[in-house]
Structure 1
Amino acid sequence: MKIILRLFISLIICLSLSGCWSAKELTDITLATALAIDKDENNEYKVTIQVVNPSEVAGDQISSRSSVATYSATGRTMFEAVRKITKISPRKVHLSHLQILVYGEEFAREGIGETLDFLIRDHGFRTDFTIAIAKGLTAEDLVSVLTPLEKIPAQKIASSIESSQDNWAPSKEVLLNELIESVSSEGKDAILTGIYVQGDPDEGKSMQNVESADAPAKVRLDAIGVFSGDKLLGWLNEDQSKGFNYITNNISSTVGWVNCGDGDRTITLEVINSETKIKGSIKNGKPEINLDLNIAVNVADVECSIDLTNTEERNEVEKKLEQKTVDLINDSVSAAKEYESDIFGFGAAIRRSDPQEWKNVKDNWATLFPETDVKANVTVQIEQSGMITTPIYNDIKKKTKEGN
């Protein structure tokens, strides 16, 4: 009996160590890193995928072959177009490692809603890929550009959006679930970061683009695209996009500067923390939004004569940055009002604070939003002034006077 029991246990252990029965070898599949969506001249979906060449990515050896390839196909539906790529791809395409999805600007202006059902329904997708818009060109042209430094262009674009969001702030990393929620929910409209090509996109498709010190075509991040429903309406500029991120509590670090001293000299400040609280209400039938921002900064660069140990002078710098931030916010709100697009979620804030009143205004929110009174209260506090208390500029100015 003991022998039979031992054999049974051994069999169970062997079965558990048999590996993944459904696993696919890399030699049998094609891994897509980027997916581009456009429409062709017949108004059919045109899908372009950027796929990895495993032999070029795996090793450190330099060759004359590209580390990625692109394949395109058209179809009446998204699913049909993706499947038709197998006609030209040597293997079945797997989308589970997708890093970025790009809509062409023209396509985004017509509406992206019909593509979202396929993206969320297909079990082959994960939802942690970044979504963006190819500004001023087709998505196909954008994902076909080869990038220096990064072997996989899709990885470069996704990393740039994340890095810009964390350290500069005019861009925003938007994943699939967030996009669907913004497109479909009440009281908030969607945004997506724009990407463009500096130079000739056709030159960017050749290996010369990665072999040159100064690439003929460079992929660059632009500002934020504004949606109404599922349609792209237009663009915020860089300052307006930064204002959007301040309002939506999406600033982890960025840089600001204010004038100091005489002339056009400046003091540069690094934002190390920013917290925003939004309170919405309706008073006398008119929506009101109050924004409370608390911003902590470090002094990064001083080009004027100033004593940072002096409380009054520190307070003056803080007040200047407070006003400049208020101006950024007001400019961003004004731009969104022109588009009649509540990208900040002000309607959602009113819904949370007063659900009953929201029911009375939600059907007319598109027309009420531009009339919303937005008040921003910004508090800036300098945390650290750096390793030195007296700017080097003071010593230079003093030496210059002595030399004269």
Structure 2
Amino acid sequence: MKHKVSFILLLLVLLLLGGCWNKRELNELAIVTAVGVDKSDELFEISVQIVNPSQVASKKASSNQVPVYTYHAKGKSLFEAIRKLTSLTPRKPYYAHAQIIIIGEEMAKEGMNSVLDLFQRDPEGRSDFNIIVSHDSTAQEILSVLTPLEDVPASKMFKSLRVSEAVWGATESVILDDLIQSLGSIDHSAVLPSIHIHGDAGAGDFSSNIEKIDSPAQLKYGGLAIFKNYKLIGYLSEQESRDYSFLNNHIKSTFEIIACPEQGKISTEIINSSTKVTGHFQNDLPSISIKLDIEQNVAEISCPLDLTKSKTIDALNKVTSKQIKERLERTLQTIQQTYQVDLLKFSEVLHREDYQAWNRIKKNWLTLYPELAVQIEVDVHTKGVGTATKLKLD
């Protein structure tokens, strides 16, 4: 009996040791760094950017080969298109290392439901990849552009997005989980960064594009793409996108250009921006207050101002505050009245403020929102003026 029990325990241990039954060797996989989704007529088209490991890993890369390859397949569904890719790729595509998902403009206009559903369900993929919309180009065309400095174009897109978000503010990195959360609002609205081909799009997929000092085709981020009810409805300009980041408390660093009293300009570096949004109800009539506290340094000046005087700094603070406030009001009007989307999630602010009052107006929110009263206050403080505090112009 003891031998029988021992035998059963041994079998159980052996079963637990079989954890590598589904392992796959690296040389059996095609590492996907980026995925593109387009709609062509009634068919879905999947494009994948796959690393050429011999080029990326080798210190002596061959000039006859490119660092990445792109493959494309069409199907009646996204899943069918993905499976059809295996008839083209020499190895099975492996999606766990994808950094970027690009949604083609036509696909975005039709709706992202099927795209989100696919990547949510995929057990092999991750949810921390960045989602981007292609503007005036297909996702396939974007993925075909070779980029200088970064051998893998997906890495270029990923790093450019993060750097631009940190020092410019007109872009915003959005991962799958963030997008799904944003689309869970009443009007299912969200924003995504957009990217386009700057220059000669036809030259982007030739190796000569990375062999010239000035690449004929470059990938460039533009304004934020606006979604409502899961569909692309328009774009904010670069300046409006930066204003949106101010309003949404996403500015890490950026700049302002202020006109001097008589001639010339002052450039300032925004080093800190904090936005607080509060909701109010008066007789079930909602309103919103937005307070921005901004810190800046003087970066460049081309007019005769004495920055050692407190009245000069006070005047600079007031002019900067007014300029930012007026611009934010114009952008908010575009978001509220032109696109009529609650991108800043005012509904959630009002719900947190007074959930009972919110429940009473909730059914009328989409009608109330475009005319919602929003008060914006901007308070700018200049912290640094540099070592050259006086400028004399002849």
Calculate the TM-score normalised by the size of structure 1.
Answer: 0.90
Residues 154-233 of structure 1: pairs in structure 2 closer than 5 A: 154-186=154-186, 189-233=189-233
CA distance in 1, matches of 2:360, 2:346: 15
Residues 35-114 of structure 1: pairs in structure 2 closer than 5 A: 35-41=35-41, 43-62=42-61, 63-114=63-114
Q: How many residues end up aligned between the 2 structures?
A: 378
CA contact (8 A) 2:188 2:228 kept: no
1:74 deviates by: 1.4
1:173 deviates by: 0.6
CA distance in 1, matches of 2:102, 2:158: 11
Residues 4-403 of structure 1: pairs in structure 2 closer than 5 A: 22-41=22-41, 43-62=42-61, 63-186=63-186, 189-263=189-263, 265-337=264-336, 338-390=338-390, 393-394=391-392, 397=393, 400=394
The one-letter code matched in structure 2 to 1:383 is: K
CA contact (8 A) 2:188 2:230 kept: no
1:159-214 Cα deviation digits (max 9, x unpaired) = 11111110000111111001011112337720011101012322101111111111
**Residues 328/61 of structure 1: CA separation in 2 closer, same or farther (3 Å cut):** farther
1:294-350 Cα deviation digits (max 9, x unpaired) = 111111111111111211110110111111111221122111121111111111111
CA contact (8 A) 1:198 1:218 kept: yes
CA contact (8 A) 1:297 1:382 kept: yes
The one-letter code matched in structure 2 to 1:346 is: F
Give the 3-state SS of the residue equivalent to 1:202 in structure 2.
helix
CA distance in 2, matches of 1:312, 1:187: 47
Give the 3-state SS of the residue equivalent to 1:205 in structure 2.
coil
CA distance in 2, matches of 1:313, 1:389: 11
CA contact (8 A) 1:78 1:118 kept: yes
CA distance in 1, matches of 2:83, 2:195: 27
CA contact (8 A) 2:187 2:341 kept: no
RMSD of aligned residue pairs (Cα, Å): 1.9
Give the stretch that moved more between structures: 82-91 or 185-194: 185-194
The one-letter code matched in structure 2 to 1:274 is: S
Give the 3-state SS of the residue equivalent to 1:249 in structure 2.
coil
Match of 1:6 in 2: none
Give the 3-state SS of the residue equivalent to 1:375 in structure 2.
strand
The one-letter code matched in structure 1 to 2:353 is: S
CA contact (8 A) 1:171 1:222 kept: yes
CA distance in 1, matches of 2:285, 2:312: 40
The one-letter code matched in structure 2 to 1:152 is: V
CA contact (8 A) 1:188 1:347 kept: no
Identity over aligned pairs, percent:
35
Give the 3-state SS of the residue equivalent to 1:368 in structure 2.
helix
CA distance in 1, matches of 2:50, 2:298: 44
CA distance in 1, matches of 2:58, 2:386: 43
CA distance in 2, matches of 1:260, 1:23: 66
**Residues 75/305 of structure 1: CA separation in 2 closer, same or farther (3 Å cut):** same
CA distance in 1, matches of 2:383, 2:22: 55
The one-letter code matched in structure 2 to 1:271 is: I
Give the 3-state SS of the residue equivalent to 2:204 in structure 1.
helix
Gaps of 5+ in 2: 1-15
CA contact (8 A) 1:30 1:92 kept: yes
Give the 3-state SS of the residue equivalent to 2:201 in structure 1.
coil
CA distance in 2, matches of 1:21, 1:270: 56
1:58 deviates by: 0.5
The one-letter code matched in structure 2 to 1:211 is: E
CA contact (8 A) 1:191 1:343 kept: yes
CA distance in 1, matches of 2:188, 2:246: 16
Calculate the TM-score normalised by the size of structure 2.
Answer: 0.92
CA distance in 2, matches of 1:364, 1:148: 52
1:240 deviates by: 0.9
1:73-95 Cα deviation digits (max 9, x unpaired) = 11222222112110100111111
CA distance in 2, matches of 1:359, 1:187: 16
Gaps of 5+ in 1: 1-15
The one-letter code matched in structure 1 to 2:180 is: I
Give the 3-state SS of the residue equivalent to 1:128 in structure 2.
coil
The one-letter code matched in structure 2 to 1:208 is: S
Give the 3-state SS of the residue equivalent to 2:71 in structure 1.
strand
CA distance in 2, matches of 1:149, 1:173: 21
Give the 3-state SS of the residue equivalent to 2:330 in structure 1.
helix
CA distance in 1, matches of 2:361, 2:58: 60
CA distance in 1, matches of 2:192, 2:246: 16
1:284 deviates by: 3.8
1:12-63 Cα deviation digits (max 9, x unpaired) = xxxx99996654332110111111001122x121110011000000123242
CA distance in 1, matches of 2:168, 2:28: 41
Runs of 4+ in 1 over 4 A off after TM superposition: 16-23
CA distance in 1, matches of 2:295, 2:23: 49
Give the 3-state SS of the residue equivalent to 1:262 in structure 2.
coil
CA contact (8 A) 1:266 1:304 kept: yes
1:201-238 Cα deviation digits (max 9, x unpaired) = 22101111111111111111100111112011101111
1:364 deviates by: 2.8
